[in-house]
Structure 1
Amino acid sequence: MPIPPFVTALRRRVGHDLLWLPGVTAVVVRGADAGPEVLLVRRADNGSWTPVTGIVDPGEDPHVTAVREVLEEASVVAEVERLVWVAAGDVVTHPNGDRAQYLDHTFRCAWVSGEPVPGDDECTDAGWFAPHALPQMPERHRVRVEWALADEPGVRLGSGDVAARR
């Protein structure tokens, strides 16, 4: 997986120590005659199907990151509809030994144009899936998709079973 230049610069100073990084998950939805479809990508690093994810660049608003990452990873143009979830993830140890923890901002996005194809080396496949026929994926991503598809007006806060709302 490509490492953003600012993370590479930080790693030169802190080595594999834990970094706290802002991230996004973009759940892109398009309407279809047979019902809604969700955009998923197959990650190159572990083969998992997930919504599009990415790291927020310094000074970049998270919703802008979501749109940018969808275009970069899946060659699809999307627009953010709303923020649906904000939560701290678990500590992740990457294959190279780098440790990170991400503050994830999950956005529901609407498809604008484009057919999904891998746009960079972060994914090996991309496609549309009906919500009732999602491929196997990590539970944390499945829950984000479910929450983005729910017609809930609030923002889910935290990763607990009971969602706090504003």
Structure 2
Amino acid sequence: MALTWAESYLGKVRASVGDTDTILFVGARGVLFDDQNRLLMIQRSDNRHWAIPAGAMELGESMQECAIREVWEETGLRATSLTPFAFYSAYQYTNDYGHSYQQILMSFRIHTWEGELQRQTDESVDAGWFPLDALPNNSFVVQETLADLAKFESTGQLVLK
């Protein structure tokens, strides 16, 4: 079972620091395509935005373990083979709750997985596979992640930003 926000490492740090200071957000993102080249996206339970499965790392986890756990918590799929393709460390953002973060995040291409897609979990209210020309959220983050994956696949070089 997934930790609640208050139980999570990031939730504990935010509670101790308060709402106004920028803190580091360390996490991972998992990018999955089905055999029809459709992207897996989830509709988040906290803000109802469509997103690529991702989340914050817990103490004692590697970034790869974080990606595996986040994809599982949000989709019911357990990654069995994955490759890092992009590392982000320079982005700052403020979320819908007014909390400011500097993001340190690794994106992984998940090649294989096991299990059945769960459309609803504790962290998602919907999930599905979408053609790239019909994504439910065409946000900067989704587009940048897909562009970085394409760059990695064409060059074989980890994308660093």
TM-score (norm 2): 0.82
C-alpha distance in 1 between matches for 2:139 and 2:88: 16
C-alpha distance in 1 between matches for 2:120 and 2:61: 21
Aligned twin of 2:38? 37
Amino acid at match of 2:75: A
What per-residue deviation string (whole Å, max 9, x for no partner) do you get for residues 91-112 of structure 1?
3333433322211101000242
C-alpha distance in 2 between matches for 1:119 and 1:80: 24
What per-residue deviation string (whole Å, max 9, x for no partner) do you get for residues 104-139 of structure 1?
101000242233224533221001122333223311
Amino acid at match of 1:15: G
Say if 2:20 is the partner of 1:13.
Answer: no
* Gap regions ≥5 residues in structure 1: 159-166
Aligned twin of 2:68? 67
How far apart are residue 89 of structure 1 and its match?
5.4
Task: Percent identity, please.
Answer: 25
TM-score (norm 1): 0.80
User: Do the aligned partners of residues 128 and 115 (structure 1) sit closer, same or farther apart at CA in structure 2, a change above 3 Å counting?
Assistant: farther
- Tell me which moved more, 66-75 or 121-130: 121-130
Q: What SS does structure 1 have at the residue aligned with 2:85?
A: strand
Check the 8 A contact 1:72/1:119 in 2, yes or no: no
Aligned twin of 2:125? 124
How far apart are residue 76 of structure 1 and its match?
1.1
Aligned twin of 1:164? none
Amino acid at match of 2:10: V
Aligned twin of 1:133? 134
* Gap regions ≥5 residues in structure 2: none
Check the 8 A contact 1:50/1:137 in 2, yes or no: no
**Number of residues paired by the alignment?**
155
User: Do the aligned partners of residues 98 and 39 (structure 1) sit closer, same or farther apart at CA in structure 2, a change above 3 Å counting?
Assistant: same
Match 1:22 to one of 19, 23, 26:
26
Q: What SS does structure 1 have at the residue aligned with 2:29?
A: strand
User: Do the aligned partners of residues 148 and 61 (structure 1) sit closer, same or farther apart at CA in structure 2, a change above 3 Å counting?
Assistant: same
Q: What SS does structure 1 have at the residue aligned with 2:86?
A: strand
Aligned twin of 1:99? 100
Amino acid at match of 1:142: Q
